[in-house]
Amino acid sequence: MRLSCKIFLERGKVGGKDAWCYIKVPKIKVPLYLNPRKGEKINPQNYGEVILSGWGKNPPLEIEELIKRKY
């Protein structure tokens, strides 16, 4: 079965704190997501569905494994 979307890991800051999120982007929106307009800050919710998020620079190993298994 082919997925009709791609999963991306985004890292950034929220209120000055490191944060990460996995976002599920429909394949039709992938080019827009990968090539945002110059100067545009990426808001993952504008491109797809945030499926998991948390604090820190990187997701815990258990979360990475879950994403690999599920998607």
Tens digits of residue pLDDT in 16-66: 999 999 999 999 999 888 887 777 777 778 889 999 999 999 999 999 999
Asked if 52 contacts 21 with a C-beta cutoff of 8 angstroms, the reply is yes
Both tokens of residue 12? 């950034």
pLDDT at 1: 41
The DSSP 8-state label assigned to residue 63 in this structure reads H
Structural domain boundaries, residue 64? 5-70
Q: What pairing do the DSSP bridges indicate for beta strands 5-14 and 17-26?
A: antiparallel
Backbone φ, ψ for residue 26 (5° rounding): -60, 140
What is the total count of domains within the chain?
Answer: 1
